[in-house]
Structure 1
């Protein structure tokens, strides 16, 4: 067994509600430290690299060449002993290396063979991403005990299968591996890749210039190699009379986990968090409780970080924390907004404003687009979020950030629009 990182839970909230108040908000910060590094001490792991080889990858052929170089670097970045494979994706999925399953352990020989096989790739055919993920899932089948990570690269829309076919594959793959998605160029759909990365607890990003792929693939593979614990879950218990409104990841990206709940006992449900290395993530939890009288105190939620046991083994509890509520008539106490909760709420509103504004712009509703993107500018200004502000400046001219007074730019590069859409769900701890 590899040495495990140490997990801790910190709960950020204002527990006070006015008499009759019902809604309790908390931000649960989960941190893991001291994850093992270096071969020999790390968890067993499996990696599948999926490269789009549809015809469009050869227009221009710098895309395919950069994708091959990036996949070769990813193969080089794998730790010795990590089981891996490379898949080529077009109308269907095929094995690049090994020529047929199962996964093979990384060593000097297999890495060299995989890189040679990659160098022979050619681009032809269409795009059916569900079939690519289905093959990856079959390859991961024998490795469900360890870390399971895939990288998926595409340059186009999922044109050669129906949305229903893709949804069915995502339903099948959920919880079975983590997948980071990358779109190269600007002819792919952000919403489509976001749907895949959300279902599979991964990240999504744009690599506008193929030259950026090598560094990006290396960073993703290094991050995957740094994971030490697979399949961590956030277990949330609430009182019988309470209702859990939502569970959302709010750092390092916005992700609604509410619909991913798996019942885990009386009044408790598990929310999947994927694999962990040394890192921290924040979750916004909202619980509705029956209104209480002044002076009454209640545990509104009991939070546990767990490694669910397999094959009849007991669950392992890694850390715990409480969400509390107390009713008071002290106005100063119940009107105080907790900074952590305020930031989480603000970031959710910011993401919504950007996505709704971009959609309105696409639909030709300039008034709505101006109003929503203006609100986004205002929220970004209030939060001191300079990264988002600079992305917004490429889509709107800002007259007054404090009031959100903006004008839509007449001509916007597609890459800037896509980068803003993706950036809307990336978060960080702001200074304000």
Structure 2
């Protein structure tokens, strides 16, 4: 098979790595790719949001299956465009991808189909939003309605923080059109977890659980980022919790989306808050998470191409998906200043030594080749993933590898997986 993978981050390198393991794959392309992906696939200089360019490439190169990594092409309708051209593609259609494209849309769907989530209000006027805050119990969660690359969420513990977040979105337009409307939610207490599921429009199969670390600093301090690390499995997701998630979240959502005329196919990411064994939805994403993918896919033992095709063909119920009993931990190495401004073009060293360690993988997120050297080009630069017999061992292995890598201004959290250890 000829496969086209769309995207350029660490998630996409993890996907490329797993896709290449399938004996069914003859040729793998990635658009636009990154230097790490270049060792696994042929990078194609087409932007992920260039839908027409990607479609033309797929048709010209007889692509048998396209796999979409990031959310933007999904919300732009790439699946609908490809399907109309007779191309097979893995991911939700535009209507279904609104679950991530608009937090308000997701909230309406959850309310309509009685899916547990936080209470919320919606605002387009800064003054009215502030008046609501004055009447609310702090902390509150303030979210840009649209896509903001994981940076459009503020947990405001004070009126000052709330006012700053509201003004940033509605007055200063820091998120552009994505922040023209905001959702203000009640704060959910508990412990976060991520459960991704393969979906075929009617059936779903949850993947092994994971936990992301959104805040930039240890102990969940500082602003939210796209994710500073992840581990799998997450002990907070017990069998009982998973059963509840399946019954109260995934099942009614898939049934509801089908009823809405937007059957959901692809990967559905449920970001959850779990309090005393009761899960509520924090957010839905319509694709593999980043960095959760880097912690989850190394545990997958089933051919991922077979899974993708089962989802597309509505045959997921008959597919057995197997996972390794090992644990995985991914530590993100970021540029100093991220998620704010940061410097680029810092030379990276130590990747080869880290990747040479047993059951260790270095996935590149924000890198570039410059003058024959690998340099930083993004806020999240690398994701260092290691396996272990248990979480404690995987943590040790991941940090052992991460400590071998260096670049000027490198920043990483030192407590990835700490919450898991407290539950063991």
User: TM class, shorter-chain normalised?
Assistant: under 0.3
Q: TM-score, normalised by structure 1?
A: 0.26
Asked which structure has the greater CA Rg, the reply is: 1
More strand by share: 1
Q: TM-score, normalised by structure 2?
A: 0.26
Greater RCO, 1 or 2 (C-alpha within 8 Å, sep 6+): 1
